[in-house]
Structure 1
Amino acid sequence: MSRRPKGPQAALKTGGYHLVAGGISVLWLLPILLVVVTSLRTFDDVAANGVGSLPHSFTLGNFAQAWIDGGEFQAMVNSLVVTIPAVIITLALGAISAFALSRYDLPFRRTVLLVMLAGNLLPPQILLVPVSKMAEMLGIYDTLGALIGVQIGFGLGFYTFVLYGFMRAIPSEIQQAAVIDGATPLQIFWRIILPLTRPALASLSALAFTWVFNDLLWSITVIRTDTKMPITSALLGLQGQYVSQWNVIAAGSVIAAIPTVAVFLRFQRHFVAGLALGAVK
């Protein structure tokens, strides 16, 4: 059966859609492009012509200055030391919790889920002082371990809630067949449920890495020493150190964005699949 040729009205709608979407994309990309171009200009060029002018110079020295003199190397190491364990531990605990709550008839499981969800609805600002005082009482204040613990504590409820929805949608017949074959709960979780939840885990991994890596609020709450600050706090210090050198600040921003962009590109296929699967459910 041949398709009918598109009329002028359909072509007009398609062209209007692409025009609007293209305009929004350009507006979204302009600030990013401005930061990248500024990071490649010299200070004399920016000072003489302004930040928004066309570039009249090209240099990579701004990245070296931000990386070494601005302390971003140590800050990047600190961020990765915090982010990688926090994401792995939180997702592991969230997957275990979601498996127990979704696949077994536990008492008060709905109450547990509601408590976890309610904890994520609390504004983090009202918890800054209690969390800071608790870290001091435990003797872990001003350590990266305290920041890892905070990220795990505040992310566990949300990740459990999301994974609960995915695991609950898995047909119970699969688990029953595994039980008949003699599989233990650990084997069911590791060999059956986790592989089926891979799109959701990949999506949450990308989101969790971005959230934890880009966090500023909790880092300045439980960390005090400059050499222990993560990359976002280092960027804040970079603005104070290089007040008018926008080229160095822009270079530091580009450096800070590289890990999150790389993680998103790596998990992009799984991320889109996870969103589509969640929409269907």
Structure 2
Amino acid sequence: MAPSTANPAAPAASRSARRRKMWGTVAFHGSASLLSVLWLVPIAVVLITATRSFDDIAAHGLGSMPHTFTLGGFRSAWTDGGQQQALINSLLVTIPTVLLSLLLASMAAFALSRYAVPFRRALLLLMLSGNLLPPQILLIPVSKLSEKLGVYDSLYALIGVQVGFGVGFYVFVLHGFMRSIPAEIQQAAVIDGAGPWQIYTRIILPLARPALAALTALSFTWIFNDLLWSITVLRSDSKMPITASLLGLQGQYVSQWNVIAAGSVIAAAPTVIVFLRFQRHFVAGLNLGAVK
């Protein structure tokens, strides 16, 4: 039997492939680290500025290393700057809006995905098309409509606007998720005597919990950080949410950067907490509706 001849180029090709993989990994982690630093530097600057005194910033400059540590900026923003009431207003708007929007959206998505509703595709396209309209062209109509309904300059108007403009997108996302639930589960429940309400509350909602958690994080962030609709349907400073209150804070404390930075930290804290709480579902929710 003739001896087998080994390919001398195989080990060299293998070493070359390993080197390319190693350098690719190094380049990826280096780029990711650089982007992370660029992302975190502004956040660190805001946090450091918020804990410095005004005298320290005035004497050494905004970009210098801190020489003092104080929470006076937070106290000024919380009490004198009106951030306390503004945060309460934001929560009074955001929490009911998220709950009501997801309740209505889940019910509509359940009906459209599990039953032969007439013109359901047209309804889905109609709901989705409402989110494609630029909100700037609807500012005056929404403001006039809220005045006609007698709810202008009230938190109810802001809740209604946020629900109206958010439900369509939530229905579209939940519809795609609920369609992926096997029909055999619903058929087995029907054989056991379950009605539509029992199927919705005891089967579909528990199975759709990851989608609902992801949308909770998304909708809370969007609604809490909204500025456009709040300054459209609200007028009184005492009813403004936290984002609109930051504009007044900048006008009230023009050169006191520590107070402005403290107010920004207060405004960002709730969304950061919600994101950290739901981050697992938030990442998983990026693929919602992609699997049928």
Give the 5 Å matches for 1:154-193.
154-193=165-204
| Residue identity opposite 1:173 in structure 2 | E
Distance in 2 between residues matched to 1:229 and 1:268, nearest whole Å: 28
Q: Which residue of 2 aligns with 1:10?
A: 21
Which of 254, 260, 263 is residue 252 of structure 1 equivalent to? 263
Residue correspondence of structure 1 range 23-42 to structure 2 within 5 A: 23-42=34-53
Please give the alpha-carbon distance, in whole angstroms, between the structure 2 residues aligned to 1:272 and 1:77: 28
Match of 2:209 in 1: 198
Q: Read off the aligned partner of 1:167 and give its amino acid letter.
A: M
Counterpart selection for 1:238 from 236, 245, 249: 249
Equivalent residues of 2:180, 2:291 under 8 A apart: no
Cα distance in 2 between the residues matched to 1:216 and 1:263: 19
Which whole-Å CA distance do the structure 2 matches of 1:50 and 1:104 have between them?
65
Alpha-carbon spacing, 1:107–1:279, altered in 2? closer, same or farther (3 Å)? closer
Q: Give the C-alpha shift of residue 205 in structure 1.
A: 0.2
- Report deviation, 1:169: 1.0
1:271 maps to 2:279: no
Q: Is the 2:176–2:288 contact (alpha carbons within 8 Å) kept by the matching residues of 1?
A: no
* Equivalent-residue separation in structure 2 for 1:157 and 1:167 (angstroms): 15
Whether 1:128 aligns to 2:145 is no
Shift of 1:266: 0.9
Cα distance in 2, alignment partners of residues 85 and 30 from structure 1: 35
Q: Report the counterpart of residue 108 of structure 1 in structure 2.
A: 119
**Alignment partner for residue 216 of structure 1, among 211, 222, 227?**
227
Deviation at 1:54, TM superposition (A): 1.4
Larger of the two Rg values belongs to structure = 2
Structure 2 letter corresponding to 1:270: H
Q: What letter is aligned with 1:38?
A: T
Cα distance between partner residues in 1 of 2:125 and 2:107: 17
> Which of 52, 62, 70 pairs up with 2:73?
62
Query: What secondary structure, in the 3-state scheme, does the structure 1 residue paired with 2:153 have?
Result: coil
Q: Distance in 1 between matches of 2:52 and 2:230?
A: 31
- CA positional deviation for 1:48: 2.0
Pair 1:52 & 2:63 matched: yes
> What do the CA deviations read for 1:74-120 (whole angstroms, capped 9, x no partner)?
00000000000000000000000000001001111000000000000
Residue 103 of structure 2 is aligned with which of 79, 89, 92? 92
1:182-223 alpha-carbon deviations (Å, 9 max, x no partner):
110001011111111111100000010001000000000000
RMSD of aligned Cα (Å): 1.3
CA distance in 2, matches of 1:20, 1:273: 24
- Partners of 2:289 and 2:31 in 1: CA distance: 27
Q: Any idea what the Cα deviations from partners look like across 1:222-268, whole Å, max 9, x if unmatched?
A: 00000000000111100000001111000000011111011111111
Instruction: Select which of 91, 94, 117 maps to 1:83.
Output: 94
Aligned partner letter, 2:135? P
Per the normalisation by structure 2, the TM-score is: 0.93
Code of the aligned partner of 1:224: R
1:138-153 mapped onto 2 (5 Å cutoff): 138-153=149-164
TM-score (norm 1): 0.96
Distance 2:286 2:204 in 1: 18
Counterparts of 2:26 and 2:265, CA distance in 1: 34
- Cα deviation, 1:148-204, whole Å, max 9, x if unaligned, reads 000000001000000000001111111111111111000101111111111110000
Which whole-Å CA distance do the structure 2 matches of 1:36 and 1:219 have between them?
Answer: 26
- Work out whether residues 176 and 290 of structure 2, in 8 Å CA contact, stay in contact via their aligned partners in 1: no
Q: Map Cα deviations across residues 121-153 of structure 1 (whole Å, 9 max, x no partner).
A: 000000000000000000000000000000000
**Structure 1 residues not aligned, in runs of 5+:** none
